[in-house]
Chain A
Amino acid sequence: MLNVVMNWILTEPVIIQGITEPGVATYVAKMKAYGTKIIAGVATRQQEQAIEEIPVFNLVEDITEQLGEVKTSIIFVPPNMVLDAAREAISSGLRHLIIATRGVPALDMIHLLQEIPEDVLILGSGSSGIVVPKKASLGTFQSEHFTSGSVGLISCSEFLTYEVAWELNNQGIGQSVVVDLGNEPILGSNLSQWLTFLDQDPETEVIVLIQQVKDIEKFAPYLMEAKISKPIVTYIAGLYTPQERVFQEATAIVTNYLTGSIRAQNNNKKILSLIKKSGVKVAETPSQVCKFIVNC
């Protein structure tokens, strides 16, 4: 299968859709200060010439016509306009979309994923974005918490990412790329795409996956089947915390609803041992991640 992440040069110029939405200017200023090349913004509602000295256009098409080719857009429009914004970007030739907006209706995401061309990659919805420390910040991450180095982080949780990065930084271990897959039920890009990306990334030496125990059923197959040459460490939060089981599949959802509960079978131990068997190191605290990395 074509891995569309591979073609993504993360430090390339980007545009911002929804640049005049409340609060977005603050993110734009931070991204810009971090060194991100934001060439233009799109706003459908207000007429403003520029935000943070970045020109604002009515259409994505106007940007590609006037400023030349651009591949990446960060989308901040309100949830029920995300589908439209993504379609517009794709039709104007953009190929990498980061959906920062949270709370996108599930059916909109499903439609979007069904209709996107093979060479389009969508990160999110509800993604804090991507940070290449010292080079570029695409999205809403508090990028000051990262330092540059050789550990690639893949996460579904903004705040757990900071916790892990904090421990890494304290040990003098910097990060090559930090990516947030998003924290919503339907996500555009999957774990295996980003594992492969980091495996090929020359700056990355070790890959860390930050996940929560409720997602381990979802992620385990990718971890076990991934053909990755670099060492992988996964930090799993919630192993000691009572959590409701989240059902992914239609029949499980219906069964659970009709019977009141599926007999709460806890497969976690089994899954954990399978993950460990496949060579992935499982950390139970952020500081353990460092210990595993030092031993890699």
Chain B
Amino acid sequence: MDLLEYQAKELFSRIGIPVLPSQTIKEPRELKQLQIPYPVVLKSQVRTGGRGRAGGIKFVGNTIDAIAAARTIFNLSILGEYPEVILAESQYDAQEELFLAIVLDYKLKLPVLLGSAKGGINIPLLLDNLQQVVVATEFSPFYARRLVSRMGLSGELIQSVSDIVVKMYRLFQKTDLDFVEINPLGVNAQGKLMALDGKIKINSYALVRHPEIYSLNALTDVSLASREQLNLNYRSKFQLQWQDWQDEKGKIAIVANNSDLITLCWDLIRQKKEKPGCGVVVPWVENIEESGNLANWCEKLEEALEALQDVKRLKVIIINVWASSQVNEKIAQKILEYYLPEKEKPLNQDDSERSLVVNGSVFPSQRQTRNKSTADKELSSGIKIVIRLADENIIRFSKQSDSKLLSWTSNLEDAVTQAISLVKIKN
């Protein structure tokens, strides 16, 4: 999870990294109660980069100018993101600007300290001067001094900048960060340091054990944090995951229970010179056989199929699900139920009647009504469905329906070949 600048600064200040006096503004008129003396700088609080160039940072000398500038910033989107908060901050007369960061290196499986004596917005210059120190053992302050020395700093700065790096490392470790950066770390004429801008990315797996993050002073982020937390929560593991890659000309959609299966299917379609359109994962959960889990999963599958119905260009949907044979059976029944109108429905009537009695209802349940209307829509939309289940006896499902709508196979390459030939049939 990425924190906003003012939240990062709050964490900096808690651990003793110097930041300027500042105040968050949620509406321009709050500037009338500004506690910081002018001149101040107003900064749009967005997660995307490049806000300076886009006009998201303004220097102002009095309340009237400040309110006008705040209005502009609130209405300015930075790569599609509008700020919910503006940070009003004192100005700082930096003579030098440094860059400091700590990042997890996945190749080395170790944290790495990074620093550049040329911080700020000149990125090529910053990168040309980038130095790194790998933290290969338990962290100790000498690692920080090593970095600062490699950056070419001298005199008082060696100790004072090292101290900042040590504090950044503590924060990194204590709060389970993936990434922490100060850019720039301003140095004024007296050699005093100030973290002028910062970025913090918290490891989302670890978020659950950092309640202090929720207390960070902001509405937007509490909701963001809890949303991320929800993602770790059992129930929301069922959320559909639409793959980023899409092809607007593609006529085949892929539905699977894991994203790797979508990748595989996409490959196979492309290898046969056809274009896939989109892919959606109905995420598998552990212990799908346990009561409730499979029913929830099937509901999400329906949701995915329903949504694909509205994609006009589609001609075929490939459904590829890996499960045990008992689960295959239930999923196949679900697909049959969803696509085939009542009269063709292969489920034995006893079952549905029994459930009606159990429900104590004499009316057709809502679900059945919905099925029927969906099925009609399905037929008229003309989208064909190819279902691949890794089941040796898959033929039993085709026997249950003589529909032209559905075809069943246990071989994925077969499924792809069938889908492509269905695309090529002219309506």
Contact = CB atoms under 8 A, between A and B. Distances in A.
A153 to B, nearest CB: 14
B127 A105 contact: no
B107 interface: yes
B267 A105 contact: no
Contact of B105 (A109, A242, A248): A248
Interface string B223-252: 000000000100000000000110000000
A286 B203 contact: no
A62 B318 CA distance: 51
Contacts of A295: none
B104 A110 contact: yes
Contacts of B271: 240, 284-285
Interface string A246-286: 00111101110111100000000000000000000000111
B264 A286 contact: yes
A31 B114 CA distance: 46
Contact of B287 (A27, A162, A240, A244): A27
A212 B49 CA distance: 30
A144 interface: yes
Contacts of A87: none
Contacts of A159: 257-258, 260-261, 322
B178 interface: yes
A26 to B, nearest CB: 5
A177 B203 CA distance: 34
Interface stretch (B82-90, B204-212, B356-364, B376-384): B204-212
Given A110-B110, A254-B103, A105 B412 contact: no
How big is chain B's contact interface, by range? 35 or more
B101 interface: yes
B263 A212 contact: yes
A244 B324 CA distance: 32
B112 interface: yes
Contact of B263 (A23, A107, A237): A237
Contacts of A26: 287, 289-290
Contacts of A162: 322, 390
B268 interface: yes
A2 to B, nearest CB: 18
B137 interface: yes
A241 interface: yes
B109 interface: yes
B164 to A, nearest CB: 17
A255 B203 contact: no
B267 A238 contact: yes
Contact of A79 (B205, B245, B263, B270): B205
A211 to B, nearest CB: 11
A245 interface: no
A250 B263 contact: no
B11 interface: no
Contacts of B176: 105-107
Contacts of A186: 104, 106, 109
Contacts of A185: 104, 106
B266 interface: yes
A105 B203 contact: yes
Contacts of B179: 253, 257
Interface string B40-51: 000000000110
Given A113-B109, A239-B267, A163 B261 contact: yes
Interface in B382-427: 390, 411-413
A35 interface: no
B132 interface: yes
A258 B126 contact: yes
Contacts of B268: 285
Contacts of B260: 157-160, 212, 237
A227 interface: no
A91 interface: no
B77 to A, nearest CB: 17
Which of B101, B123, B268, B322 has most chain A Cβ within 10 Å?
Answer: B322
A114 B109 CA distance: 9
A145 interface: yes
B173 interface: yes
Contacts of A251: 112, 114, 130, 132
Contacts of A284: 267, 271
A259 B122 CA distance: 10
Nearest to B410: A166
A7 interface: no
Nearest to B246: A242
Contacts of A242: 245
A27 B285 CA distance: 13
A140 interface: yes
A142 interface: yes
A200 interface: no
Contact of B111 (A23, A110, A166, A240): A110
A172 interface: no
Given A113-B109, A244-B244, A254-B101, 20 more contacts: A26-B289, A80-B206, A106-B176, A106-B178, A107-B203, A109-B109, A110-B111, A114-B138, A142-B322, A144-B324, A159-B258, A170-B411, A240-B266, A249-B105, A250-B108, A250-B112, A250-B114, A250-B132, A254-B130, A258-B123
17 contacts: A23-B290, A106-B104, A114-B138, A142-B324, A166-B390, A170-B411, A238-B263, A238-B267, A241-B263, A241-B267, A248-B107, A250-B103, A254-B101, A254-B181, A259-B127, A284-B267, A287-B413
